[in-house]
Structure 1
Amino acid sequence: MGLTSGRVLVAAVVLAVGLFVATVWLWPRLARRGWRACTGRVVLLLVTQVVLFAAVGLAANRSFLFYGSWADLFGQEQDMGVVVDHGAGSKHVRVMGTQQLDVPGSGRPEVSGQIQKIVVEGARSGIVSPAYVYLPPEYFQAKYAKRTFPASVVLTGYPGTAENLIKGLKYPKTAYLQAREGRMQPMILVMLRPTVAPPRDTECVDVPGGPQTETFFAEDLPAAVSGTYRVGTKPRNWGFMGNSTGAYCALKIALHHPERFAAGAGFSAYYRAAEDVTTGDLFHGDDRLRKRADLLWSLDNLPQGKSSFLVTTSKRGESNLRDTREFIKRVKSPASVSSIVLDSGGHNFNTWNREIPPGMVWLSGKLSAV
């Protein structure tokens, strides 16, 4: 059974309750003196608490989708290199399967759209990463057969999974509903996590002698998707958005690559690359690279292109309020910036689900299909 399975959670809860009842029932027998009774009390209390914490952890993970599988939890990764697909795709994109959206008409792509699970191979970076692609209903309709569509890269935070974007943050369903209600144009979403060299958090940086993550997101990914799906290659055809680490990456890629992306939306972004045990040495002593990874420094010291930015924060609950205001202040023409500032909202899925729908409408308005 999977890590996010309801059966696993129910089993853990039942076991925790059973152990609690057993502890209460057996305690009088274990209240005696002697090493055996003492050992019994220690073991029973320890096992009960471990199972209780496991049940709470499983419930939290099922709600927030921090980890999508046991392998993800324990840092194990499947080797994508051994998979050979002889079906749909292109040179740098392999389509591994499809899944339905939880919307009316599910099962008919021309009505509900479709999510495809793919593997992307970076031509320049050499990075291979799984991803999901949401294709709107119009993509499958005859009257749009020759039409191109705008697209956006969508990233999770670290160490989230791409499934978070579908199940917890509901990007495809939101895109479907917003387009159906006429608030945004039909748009393709390319959804993945920023951890393309797991388990390392590379902060979307081209690490000297290491993973070329910025090259993968800024060049390889849009080129591979445009070569597979009906998406243009001009900046106005592409956007970038994400939450937390994904938000930092979205703003950074749009800021540093206006020739590739017309807009970047960062939900609860931070503005400087993290450097800790999860990242390792990202810059290898190169101060120029470290400064470039600081978005506030970049706004002051590097030319600003025509990219548009959306940043979000809250007056209570987010730690990025001050830096977000600094980011807004430092954006200069020809770039432009918009913001969402909530009265209250923490660094969590509930907050992002309040920001994503208007954020997607904003992003759609900055992009063009042609």
Structure 2
Amino acid sequence: MPSLTGLPLQIIAALLAVAAFAATMWLWPRLGGSGWKAWLGRLGAFFGTQVAVLVALGLVANAYFGFYTTWSDLLGLDGAPGQVVDHQPGGKAVKVTGEQKMYSSQGSTTERAGKIEKVDITGEASGLSGDAFVYLPPQYFQPEYAGSRFPMALVLSGYPGSAEKLITLLKYPESALHAIEAKQLPPTVLVMMRPTPSGVGNRDTECMDIPNGPQVETFFTTDVPKAMAAGYRVSDRPEARAVLGDSTGGYCALKFALRKPDSYRAAVSLSGYYEAPTDPTTGDLFGGSADLKRENDLTWRLENTPPAPVSLLLATSLDEENYKETQKMVASFKAPTQLSTITLDTGGHNFHTWTREIPPAMEWLGRRIAPPVPGAHPA
């Protein structure tokens, strides 16, 4: 079956829509008359053409925005509850399942452009697992960095999103490589993921440790850093770790830094919100606990909990729904928390806006994430 987000399916749907339109134009004169057969023929041709056009447009929109990445995701067949997996000591938590080349003005070799690997990450503390794309910068393969451990940036998509779009549309590896070449960002390993790990189905968990449910926050704040440090030459120091995201991923990024500063010391939120919603996609995230709901309200945390030693970057625009709430966040933070903003004159909740915010966000991150030290650690 063709990929739901693949170009071949979009081309087939577009050709079928054009064919349906052409057939309708050709048959329309033959469907004249006042009898019930003529009426049914005209209605069938009209609605058939409309459906074909809407399907083609829907496939293009889905591929662009990443609403559903697989047929089972679209049909709601991925709704099985998560399963706890017990692991023996010494088992690999990161399994490489594929790779792809990177290209730059310096060439396509790994020493010049780096490499993207597709991996499965298994979490010991949470019992969850998730697919990820890991971008290894060119310095990772250069001899002078052979004994170094690199900073890590976790990059999260929105919900429902796909990690592939972080590469193909938001172009995080390209932006990171450009910033590294411009000396704006130290060589950094990117870990690109959805905010919903495998095994939780289509549920929007808002990166929560849900009472009697999946422990998603633990997966991202404990398991992912630990697995990456074990599977790659990635630093285990919190000051060498950051998290970035858009929309739901932006909310998760800020929450991880504010709630677990020993996991991530810097966070970037692009069009993120500051309080977890409750709707049919989330279900009951808080187990009926008002205290737990409040603790995951980020504005409340800035106003009522001891300030965390983290750096936050909030990106918004004058047109964004989160603009007013972003101003509340700015008014609420206290030292040692550091807070910066990007405010565009115009922009919406979409990929085009986020691609305008990612380059300055990379430069901001470069001033806050600890760089690798060549030869400081054993290979």
Shift of 1:96: 0.8
Q: Which residue of structure 1 aligns with residue 104 of structure 2?
A: 103
Map of 2:360 onto structure 1: 358
| CA positional deviation for 1:344 | 0.7
Q: Does 1:367 align with 2:369?
A: yes
CA separation in 2, counterparts of 1:123 and 1:233? 16
SS in 2 for 1:95: strand
Match of 1:124 in 2: 125
Residues 34-43 or 273-282, more deviating: 34-43
Q: In 2, distance between residues paired with 1:73 and 1:51?
A: 18
Quote the Cα distance in structure 2 between the aligned partners of 1:171 and 1:74.
29
Provide the residue aligned with 1:331 in structure 2: 333
Between stretches 342-351 and 66-75, larger displacement belongs to 66-75
SS of residue in 2 equivalent to 1:344: coil
User: What is the match of residue 376 of structure 2?
Assistant: none
Equivalent position amino acid for 2:131 in 1: P
Partner Cα separation in structure 2 for residue 74 and residue 141 of structure 1? 45
Please point out which of 221, 230, 240 is paired with 1:227: 230
> Which residue is equivalent to 2:186?
185
Letter in 1 for 2:56: A
| Equivalent in 226, 250, 253 of residue 253 of structure 2 | 250
Correspondence 1:140-159 to 2 at 5 A: 140-159=141-160
- Give, as a single letter, the amino acid of the residue that structure 2 aligns with 1:313: T
When structure 1 is superposed on structure 2, of 56-65 and 274-283 the one drifting more is 56-65
Q: 1:210 aligns with which of 208, 213, 216?
A: 213
Task: State the distance in 2 between where 1:174 and 1:90 align.
Answer: 34
Q: CA deviation at 1:320?
A: 0.5
Equivalents in 2 of 1:250, 1:236: separation in Å?
15
Could you tell me which residue of structure 2 aligns to residue 86 of structure 1? Answer: none
What is the rounded CA distance, in whole Å, between the counterparts of 1:95 and 1:221 in structure 2? 14
- Structure 1: distance between partners of 2:351 and 2:91: 34
| Amino acid corresponding to residue 264 of structure 2 in structure 1 | F
What SS does structure 2 have at the residue aligned with 1:275?
coil
Distance between the aligned counterparts of 2:92 and 2:15, measured in 1?
49
In structure 1, the residue matched to 2:7 is: 6
Report deviation, 1:61: 2.7
User: Do the aligned residues in 2 keep the contact of 1:157 with 1:244 (CA within 8 Å)?
Assistant: yes
2:79 touches 2:202 (CA, 8 Å); kept in 1?
no
What do the CA deviations read for 1:320-362 (whole angstroms, capped 9, x no partner)?
A: 0110011111110111101101111111101100001110111
Distance 1:283 1:77 in 2: 23
Q: Distance in 2 between matches of 1:179 and 1:357?
A: 11
TM-score normalized with structure 1 length? 0.93
The equivalent of 2:22 in structure 1 is 21
Identity over the aligned pairs, expressed in percent?
45
Residue pair 1:100, 1:106 contacting (<8 A) in 2 also: no
* 1:262 aligned partner: 265
SS of match in other structure, 1:61 = helix
Q: CA deviation at 1:289?
A: 0.6
SS of aligned partner of 2:264? coil
- Conserved 8 A contact 2:307-2:336: yes
| Counterpart residue number, 1:160 | 161
Q: Distance in 2 between matches of 1:106 and 1:289?
A: 50
Aligned-pair CA distance for 1:314:
0.6
SS at match of 2:231: coil
Give 2:321's match in structure 1, choosing from 278, 296, 319.
Answer: 319
Q: Secondary structure at the match of 1:231?
A: coil
CA contact (8 A) 2:257 2:265 kept: yes
Residues 271, 294 of structure 1: 8 Å contact kept: yes
Unaligned residue ranges in structure 2 (runs of 5+): 84-89, 373-379
SS in 1 for 2:51: helix
Aligned partners of 2:348 and 2:255: how far apart in 1?
Answer: 22
**Aligned equivalents of 2:91, 2:370: Cα separation in 1:** 24
Between stretches 226-235 and 106-115, larger displacement belongs to 106-115
Contact 2:126/2:215 (8 A) holds in 1: yes
CA contact (8 A) 1:169 1:353 kept: yes
- Counterpart code for 2:291: R
Q: 1:53 to 1:179 in 2, by over 3 A?
A: same
Higher relative contact order (CA 8 A, sep 6+): 2
Q: Confirm or deny that 1:240 pairs with 2:218.
A: no
Aligned to 1:134: 135
Gaps of 5+ in 1: 82-88
Q: CA deviation at 1:24?
A: 1.9
Q: Distance in 2 between matches of 1:147 and 1:78?
A: 41
TM-score, structure 2 length as denominator? 0.91
Shift in Å, 1:49: 0.7
Q: Which residue of 1 aligns with 2:312?
A: 309
One-letter amino acid of the counterpart of residue 336, structure 1? Q
Aligned to 1:85: none
Q: Which moved more, 1:240-249 or 1:64-73?
A: 64-73
* 2: CA distance, partners of 1:24 / 1:106: 51
Give the counterpart letter for 1:175 in structure 2.
A
Tell me which residue corresponds to 2:87: none
> Where in structure 2 are the equivalents of 1:27-106 lying within 5 Å?
27-77=28-78, 91-104=92-105
Contact in 1 for aligned 2:104/2:112 (Cα 8 Å): no
How far residue 107 of structure 1 moved from its aligned partner, in angstroms, is 4.9
CA contact (8 A) 1:19 1:48 kept: yes
Contact preservation (8 Å) 2:246, 2:271: yes
Residue 170 of structure 1 and its aligned partner are, at CA, apart by: 0.4
Query: 1:64 Cα deviation (Å)?
Result: 3.2
